[in-house]
Amino acid sequence: MTIWTSTLVIPNYYSQKELYVKNKQTAQISKSLGFESLEYHIYNDRDKSDDELSHDISVIISEVKTGDVVFLQYPMLQGNIRYDIEFIRQLKEKNIKLVGIVWDIPAWEFDSTINALEDDIQRELQHFDILIVENTMMKDRIKYLCKFKKKIITLGITDYLLDDKISYYIEKSDNIYQVSGASDELISLDNIDKIESIQQFLLIKKYSGFGFVVNNDLNNSLLLSVFLSVGLPVVIPYSSHQSNMVKEYKLGVVYSSLKDLREQIGCIDDFDYEALKLNVSKISQLTSSGFFTKRAMIAVVDNIYRI
C-alpha cells in the first residue's frame, strides 16, 4: 500500500496566497511521514473536451494502485470544477481509500445555508472516506449541511513550517504588526483604524510587538499560524472562532473593540509580555514542525487500517 498526498505544483508568483501555502506545506509535512506526492499542475486548458481532460488526469494518477490511500487537498485550486470532479471520479474507480483535506468550501463564501447543498462541490465531499478539516466549526457545518456521516478529524491549529534561514527577533512594543499591500508594515496604535483593511498574506521576516489577526469564519487564519510559529503574541478579535484558544492558552490579546485595544495593550508590562512569549513558544514548537498535520494524518491511517 502506498500513501499519496495531492500536491499542486505552482509558479512562484502564487506562492504566498493562503490556500497555496497550505497546500505546499502540507505536501512537505506528508513527505516527512514517508508519503508520496501526487503532483499536478495548474490546468489552463478549459476548452479541452471531457475525453481530453480524462486522459490528462489518468496520466497523473497512473501510479496509484488499488488499495492505496490518497490524501486529496480540497479544493484542488484549479478554478475549474470539472477538474476536481473528474480527478475524484478516477481515483474512486481505482478502489482506493480517499481522504479529503478540506481547506475551503468555495460555495459557502456566497451561501452558507442549506441551499448551498445544490452545489457540485459539496456533493463531491460524499466521495471521501474520511475528512480532515481545520476546526470544529467546519466539521459541524459539513455534518449538518452535507449530511456527511463518515469520520471527520479536526486539526485544531493549522501548522506553518518555518524557513530555518530566517531569524526572528521579538520584543515588547506598542506597535501592531500587520501585513498590508506589497510590503511589511508596523502600524502605530495612533493609526489603529487602518488595521481593519488587512487582506493579503505575505512572507514575514521580522516581528515586533504583536501580530494582528484578521477575523476569520470557518477557516483557520494562516496569519495566526505564522505568528504562533515564530513565537509572536497575537491580537485577535473576540468574534473570531480562534479567539477562545488565544484566551485559554494566554497567547495574546483578545479585544471586542479596536477603541479599547490601546488600553488593553497598555496594561501589559514587560513581565506580562515575557509570559505571553513563553506561552506562545510552547505552541510554536508544535506548529513550526507540522505536529498538528502529522497527528491528523497518522490518525487517518490508523482509522483506515481498522476499517
Contact by Cβ (8 Å): 192, 109: no
Pick the range with the lowest mean pLDDT from 87-91, 249-253, 283-287, 301-305: 301-305
| Cα–Cα distance list, 79 to 43, 74, 83, 167, 261 (Å) | 9, 12, 9, 36, 39
User: Among 168, 160, 283, 140, which residue's Cα sits nearest to residue 221?
Assistant: 160
Q: b vs e for 268-277, b when ≥16 Cβ sit within 10 Å of the residue's Cβ?
A: beeeebeebb
Is the predicted pLDDT of residue 297 greater than 50, yes or no? yes
Give the largest Cα separation in the chain, rounded. Answer: 65
Is the predicted pLDDT of residue 183 greater than 50, yes or no? no
Q: pLDDT > 90: what percent of the chain?
A: 48
Q: Please give the mean pLDDT across all residues of the chain.
A: 81
Please report the domains of the chain, with CATH numbers, ordered by start residue: 3-159+290-306 (3.40.50.2000), 176-287 (3.40.50.2000)
**What pLDDT, on a 0 to 100 scale, did the predictor assign at position 91?**
97
Helix (H, G, I), strand (E, B) or coil at 168: coil
pTM (predicted TM-score): 0.84
Better-scored residue on pLDDT, 211 or 203: 211
DSSP assignment of 51-83? HHHHHHHHHHTTT--TT-EEEEEES-S-S-HHH
Contact by Cβ (8 Å): 152, 131: yes
Task: Taking residues 193-221, report their average pLDDT.
Answer: 56
Separation CA 256–CA 170 (nearest Å): 25
Q: Report which listed range, 20-24, 31-35, 171-175, 234-238, is most confident.
A: 31-35
Pick the range with the lowest mean pLDDT from 59-73, 82-96, 111-125: 111-125
Better-scored residue on pLDDT, 272 or 306: 272
Is the predicted pLDDT of residue 193 greater than 60, yes or no? no
Separation CA 82–CA 78 (nearest Å): 9
Contact by Cβ (8 Å): 136, 100: no
Torsion sign (Cα): 218, 112, 77, 127: positive
pLDDT digits (tens, 9 = 90+) for 152-169: 999 999 999 987 655 565
Is the predicted pLDDT of residue 272 greater than 90, yes or no? yes
Confidence label for 109 from pLDDT (cuts 50, 70 and 90): low
Separation CA 270–CA 186 (nearest Å): 20
Going edge to edge, which strands form the sheet with 210-212? Answer: 183-187, 176-180, 210-212, 234-237, 252-255
Contact by Cβ (8 Å): 17, 25: no
Look up residue 156 and give its DSSP letter.
Answer: S
Look up residue 197 and give its DSSP letter.
Answer: G
Pick the range with the lowest mean pLDDT from 124-133, 165-174, 266-275: 165-174
Going edge to edge, which strands form the sheet with 36-41? Answer: 36-41, 3-9, 69-74, 97-102, 130-133, 151-154
